[in-house]
Amino acid sequence: MAKEPETTSSQPLRLYRDLADWYPLLTPVGNYAEEAAFYLRLFETHCQQPPRTLLDLGSGGGHNAAHLKAALACTLVDLEPSMLTLSRRINPECEHIQGDMRAVRLGCVFDCVLVHNAISYMTSRTDLASAIATAFAHTAPGGVAMFQPDFVSETFVTLFHDGYWSLPILASAGAMLSP
C-alpha cells in the first residue's frame, strides 16, 4: 500500500490560513491558562536572572502569550500572516513578526524562548535541528529555551495502522456516539 506523504511545514495547512478564524473555536484561549502558568514557573526557576522577555516561535493564535504577557514582554513569530492577525487581536501590546522558525534571525536575544506545539511541524531531523538552532540563537546567556511538543515517543500511541483506525480511537468514537 502506498504510504501517505509526510506533512511538512512547507505544506500550508488551511487551519492556519483561510480557516484561521475557526482556530479559537477549536482551541479556546482560556484552555491555555494552566499550561502557560506552568511554563512561566519553569522559566522563573531555570533562568539565571528574573526573566523579563520571551520569544514565542510558532506562536499561532497567541494563546500562550495571552497568559504570559502580564509577566513577560512577548515577541511572537509565526509563519502564517492569518495567525498573526488573530494573535494581534488578543495581544495588541505584543510585537508580531512573520517568520519561519527554521531560519528567522531577529538580531536580538530573549531571556525565554518558547517553542510550543508548533515544534511538531518539524518533521525531519534537518528542520528540527534548524528550529533548535533558531531558538538557541535568540536565547540570552543564562536564559532558557523550552520545547513543548504535544507528543513524545515515551507516550505516543499510533492511532492509524495500515489504513485502519486502531482500537483506542474507535473506542473513544464509540464513547462519543453512545447515548
Ligand X SMILES: C[S@@+](CC[C@H](N)C(=O)[O-])C[C@H]1O[C@@H](n2cnc3c(N)ncnc32)[C@H](O)[C@@H]1O
Specify the stretch interacting with ligand X by CB under 6 A; choose among 47-55, 98-106, 154-162, 166-174: 98-106
Query: Between 81 and 168, whose beta carbon lies closer to ligand X?
Result: 81
Q: Does 67 bind ligand X (CB under 6 A)?
A: no
Which residue in 39, 43, 51, 60 binds ligand X (CB under 6 A)?
60
**What is the rounded end-to-end Cα distance, in angstroms, of the chain?**
37
Helix (H) or strand (E) holding 55: strand 53-57
Using CA atoms, how far residue 83 sits from 3, 68, 128, in Å, is 30, 18, 21
Query: Between 64 and 139, whose beta carbon lies closer to ligand X?
Result: 64
Query: Between 26 and 170, whose beta carbon lies closer to ligand X?
Result: 26
Amino acid identity of residue 46, one-letter, is H
Query: Between 26 and 108, whose beta carbon lies closer to ligand X?
Result: 26
Q: Does 134 bind ligand X (CB under 6 A)?
A: no
Q: Which three cell numbers stand for residue 73?
A: 514582554
Using CA atoms, how far residue 119 sits from 45, 105, 174, in Å, is 23, 17, 31
Q: Does 85 bind ligand X (CB under 6 A)?
A: no
Q: Does 54 bind ligand X (CB under 6 A)?
A: no
Phi-psi sector, 58: left (phi>0), alpha (psi -120 to 50), beta:
left
Which residue in 43, 59, 69, 145 binds ligand X (CB under 6 A)?
59
Residue 56, strand partner residues: 76, 114
Q: Does 69 bind ligand X (CB under 6 A)?
A: no
C-alpha 104/C-alpha 98 separation (Å) is: 9
Closest contact distance (angstroms) between CB of 140 and ligand X is 21
Helix (H) or strand (E) holding 163: none
Which residue in 40, 43, 55, 64 binds ligand X (CB under 6 A)?
64
Amino acid identity of residue 21, one-letter, is D
The site for ligand X (CB under 6 A) is made up of 9, 16, 32, 58-64, 78-80, 83, 100-102, 116-118, 121
